[in-house]
Amino acid sequence: MKQTRNTSQRQLIRNLMENNYSHPTADEVYEMARKGNPNISRGTVYRNLNLLAENGEIARLNMPIGPDHYDCQTPHH
Protein backbone atom coordinates (compact mmCIF):
# COMPACT_ATOMS: atom_id res chain seq x y z
CA MET A 1 0.00 0.00 0.00
CA LYS A 2 1.35 3.39 -1.00
CA GLN A 3 1.79 5.86 1.85
CA THR A 4 0.18 9.15 0.86
CA ARG A 5 -1.26 12.22 2.46
CA ASN A 6 -4.96 12.06 3.19
CA THR A 7 -6.13 15.19 1.37
CA SER A 8 -9.58 16.69 1.69
CA GLN A 9 -10.24 15.77 -1.95
CA ARG A 10 -9.28 12.14 -1.35
CA GLN A 11 -11.44 12.00 1.76
CA LEU A 12 -14.38 13.44 -0.21
CA ILE A 13 -13.98 10.78 -2.92
CA ARG A 14 -13.55 8.02 -0.32
CA ASN A 15 -16.75 9.16 1.45
CA LEU A 16 -18.65 9.31 -1.84
CA MET A 17 -17.61 5.76 -2.65
CA GLU A 18 -18.43 4.44 0.84
CA ASN A 19 -21.93 5.92 0.64
CA ASN A 20 -22.69 4.93 -2.96
CA TYR A 21 -24.35 1.61 -3.67
CA SER A 22 -24.09 1.83 -7.44
CA HIS A 23 -20.92 1.25 -9.41
CA PRO A 24 -20.14 4.74 -10.75
CA THR A 25 -17.71 5.63 -13.50
CA ALA A 26 -14.95 8.15 -12.86
CA ASP A 27 -17.02 10.82 -14.61
CA GLU A 28 -19.99 10.06 -12.36
CA VAL A 29 -17.76 10.29 -9.28
CA TYR A 30 -16.45 13.61 -10.62
CA GLU A 31 -19.99 14.99 -10.96
CA MET A 32 -20.83 13.87 -7.40
CA ALA A 33 -17.56 15.30 -6.06
CA ARG A 34 -18.25 18.70 -7.62
CA LYS A 35 -21.35 19.00 -5.44
CA GLY A 36 -19.13 18.76 -2.36
CA ASN A 37 -16.21 20.72 -3.81
CA PRO A 38 -16.99 22.79 -6.93
CA ASN A 39 -13.27 23.44 -7.49
CA ILE A 40 -12.19 19.79 -7.70
CA SER A 41 -10.70 18.88 -11.07
CA ARG A 42 -11.47 15.84 -13.18
CA GLY A 43 -7.76 14.90 -13.03
CA THR A 44 -7.82 14.95 -9.23
CA VAL A 45 -10.78 12.57 -9.20
CA TYR A 46 -9.13 10.19 -11.70
CA ARG A 47 -5.80 10.19 -9.81
CA ASN A 48 -7.48 9.57 -6.47
CA LEU A 49 -9.69 6.78 -7.82
CA ASN A 50 -6.58 5.12 -9.25
CA LEU A 51 -4.71 5.52 -5.96
CA LEU A 52 -7.63 4.18 -3.90
CA ALA A 53 -7.89 1.20 -6.28
CA GLU A 54 -4.12 0.53 -6.10
CA ASN A 55 -4.33 0.62 -2.29
CA GLY A 56 -7.24 -1.85 -2.30
CA GLU A 57 -9.70 0.60 -0.76
CA ILE A 58 -11.99 0.42 -3.78
CA ALA A 59 -12.28 -1.98 -6.69
CA ARG A 60 -11.85 -0.98 -10.32
CA LEU A 61 -14.32 -2.93 -12.43
CA ASN A 62 -12.94 -3.25 -15.95
CA MET A 63 -15.83 -3.23 -18.40
CA PRO A 64 -15.48 -4.91 -21.80
CA ILE A 65 -17.21 -1.94 -23.43
CA GLY A 66 -17.16 1.57 -22.03
CA PRO A 67 -15.37 3.13 -19.09
CA ASP A 68 -14.29 1.34 -15.94
CA HIS A 69 -16.62 1.46 -12.95
CA TYR A 70 -15.63 1.65 -9.30
CA ASP A 71 -16.95 -0.09 -6.22
CA CYS A 72 -16.24 0.45 -2.55
CA GLN A 73 -15.13 -2.82 -0.99
CA THR A 74 -17.35 -2.94 2.08
CA PRO A 75 -19.19 -5.75 3.85
CA HIS A 76 -22.53 -4.84 2.22
CA HIS A 77 -21.42 -6.70 -0.94
Band the pLDDT of 77: cuts 50, 70, 90: very low
Give the pLDDT confidence of 4-54 residue by residue, as tens digits: 678 899 999 999 999 988 899 999 999 999 999 999 999 999 999 999 999
Residue-level length of the chain: 77
Domain segments of the chain as ranges: 8-72
Residue 42 contacts residue 25 (beta carbons within 8 Å): no
Local confidence band at 2 (pLDDT 50, 70, 90 cut-offs): low
Domain 8-72 has CATH 1.10.10.10: yes
Predicted confidence (pLDDT) at residue 76 exceeds the cutoff of 80: no
More confident residue, 72 or 12: 12
**Dist CA 61 CA 53 (whole Å):** 10
Which pLDDT does position 72 carry in this prediction? 87
